């Protein structure tokens, strides 16, 4: 369960057996025809896959350089890429005979996606969410409840993502016989980073095929925002072996480079273990996870997936930065130029693509993973950043 020195499974001894069971069950089913068929079925007939790739013609002309293409995970059912791993996680839960799924959420997209998958497959769902995010992503909280999930509001610490993970994991430890933890990104102890990356790889495989319909060559650059790294790993999966394709993970610079003002783990972090895995994380002076901030609730996480850390260390991927201002600018630019309102998290990838497009030739191409739609963010953005 390691990616170089990153990853692993740093869990309390009492969880060793349950996690071994999850790992074994996943290895048993991942290549089974039944699992593959069931996943293909729900992706086509329930999620509405494949999602299209859209050429952002007006945004391209606005930037005046490389052609910008968007992989439309905002059109995936529930409005983000998260359902790609949630449906598979709940199929695994069913296979393990579990009655209940437990998870954290920050932006609420993972929470909504897991509640959706749990409703579809008939399992109980419990989502832990920081009080700050419950306020900010209110539409998603209402959706989770309508879908039948129990939402636990977390009021510890900064009341955002890290605390939600701590709280959800604590709840899971109390009932690991009949419940399973369904993590929301390529983070956590082995086997989660591998599993979630596998479940998200459908995005990259689709994109590689679809891109040929637009251009008879591979994209020069594939760009995705990075919170834990699941939407990035998903689209990278389609191009990882094509060394000529640049893979860029965009980290949130928030209000600036001072610790506490951003969540750019790979850019400013150092090696460390949190939430059961070793990766590159932002630490405070006591070596604990540092407070982090981003306008995007889904990307304000003080660590990053271990595979992401490994790919960055080996140079296969590079890291881009985008601050709050650039993200809001991209949020409005995509809306007004292309008629697509992006999630604030995804707007970080769009902003970075806009930045590099200007420096590239007109026959070069950038493929952005548009990880989600912005319905959850519209009130917050309009209230805090007047419509230009
Ligand atoms: C639309 C959208 N785009 C990107 C992200 C960042 O998550 P990754 O793709 O795993 O880096 C997110 C992350 N959202 C999670 C959530 O909705 O709960 C996140 O907050 C937690 C699972 C960590 C997202 O909602």
Predicted confidence (pLDDT) at residue 339 exceeds the cutoff of 90? yes
Instruction: Tell me the Cα Rg of the chain.
Output: 19
- Closest Cα to atom 10, ligand 1: which residue? 230
- Closest Cα to atom 1, ligand 1: which residue? 372
Comparing C-alpha atoms, which of 123, 139, 128, 116 is closest to residue 47? 116
Tell me the CA–centroid distance for residue 84 and ligand 1, in Å: 12
The pLDDT-based confidence of 46 (bands split at 50, 70, 90) is very high
The pLDDT-based confidence of 378 (bands split at 50, 70, 90) is very high
Tell me the CA–centroid distance for residue 347 and ligand 1, in Å: 12
Q: What is the pLDDT of residues 235-247, one digit of tens each?
A: 999 999 999 999 9
- For CA atoms 127, 132, 136, 138, the dihedral sign is positive
Tell me the CA–centroid distance for residue 291 and ligand 1, in Å: 18
Tell me the CA–centroid distance for residue 107 and ligand 1, in Å: 6
Mean pLDDT along residues 302-312? 98
- Closest Cα to atom 15, ligand 1: which residue? 298
- ipTM for the predicted complex: 0.99
pTM of the model: 0.97
Mean pLDDT along residues 242-270? 98
Could you count the other beta carbons within 10 Å of the beta carbon of residue 246? 16
CA 217 from chain center: how many Å? Answer: 27
Q: What is the pLDDT of residues 189-234, one digit of tens each?
A: 999 999 999 999 999 999 999 999 999 999 999 999 999 999 999 9
Q: In what order do the strands lie in the sheet containing 6-7?
A: 2-3, 6-7, 277-281, 270-274
- Which of 139, 281, 298 is the pocket-test mutation for ligand 1 (most atoms within 8 Å of CB)? 298
Nearest atom of ligand 1 to the alpha carbon of 196: 10
Predicted confidence (pLDDT) at residue 162 exceeds the cutoff of 90? no
Give catalytic residues, as residue numbers. Answer: 82, 104, 371
The tokens for 120 are 């579809």
Predicted confidence (pLDDT) at residue 160 exceeds the cutoff of 90? no
- Closest Cα to atom 22, ligand 1: which residue? 184
């Amino acid at each position: 369960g390691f990616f170089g020195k990153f990853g692993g499974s740093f869990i309390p001894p009492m969880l060793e057996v349950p996690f071994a069971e999850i790992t074994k069950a996943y290895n048993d089913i991942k290549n089974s025809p039944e699992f593959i068929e069931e996943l293909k079925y729900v992706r086509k007939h329930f999620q509405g896959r494949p999602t299209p790739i859209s050429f952002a013609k007006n945004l391209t002309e606005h930037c005046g350089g490389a052609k910008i293409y968007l992989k439309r995970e905002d059109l995936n059912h529930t409005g983000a890429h998260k359902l790609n791993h949630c449906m598979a996680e709940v199929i695994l839960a069913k296979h393990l005979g579990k009655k209940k799924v437990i998870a954290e959420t920050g932006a609420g997209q993972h929470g909504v996606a897991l509640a959706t998958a749990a409703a579809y497959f008939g399992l109980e769902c419990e989502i832990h969410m920081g009080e700050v995010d419950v306020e900010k992503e209110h539409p998603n909280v209402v959706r989770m409840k309508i879908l039948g999930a129990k939402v636990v509001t977390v009021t510890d610490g900064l009341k955002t993502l890290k605390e939600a993970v701590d709280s959800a994991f604590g709840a899971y430890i109390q009932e690991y016989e009949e419940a399973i933890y369904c993590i929301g990104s390529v983070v956590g102890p082995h086997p989660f980073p591998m599993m979630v990356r596998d479940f998200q790889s459908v995005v990259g495989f689709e994109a590689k095929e679809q891109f040929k319909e637009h251009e008879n060559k591979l994209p020069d650059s594939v760009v995705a925002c990075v919170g834990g790294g699941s939407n990035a790993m998903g689209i990278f999966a389609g191009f990882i072996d094509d060394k000529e394709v640049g893979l860029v993970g965009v980290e949130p610079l928030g209000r600036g480079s001072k610790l506490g003002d951003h969540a750019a783990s790979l850019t400013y972090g150092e090696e460390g273990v949190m939430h059961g895995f070793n990766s590159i994380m932002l630490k405070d002076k006591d070596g604990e996870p540092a407070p982090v901030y981003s306008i995007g609730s889904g990307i304000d996480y003080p660590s990053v997936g271990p595979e992401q850390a490994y790919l960055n260390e080996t140079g296969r991927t590079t890291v881009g930065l985008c601050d709050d201002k650039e993200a809001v600018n991209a949020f409005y630019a995509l809306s007004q130029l292309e008629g697509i309102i992006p999630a604030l998290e995804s707007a970080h990838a769009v902003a970075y693509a806009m930045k590099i497009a200007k420096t590239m030739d007109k026959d070069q191409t950038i493929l952005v993973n548009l990880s989600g739609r912005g319905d959850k963010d519209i009130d917050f953005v309009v209230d805090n950043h007047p419509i230009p």
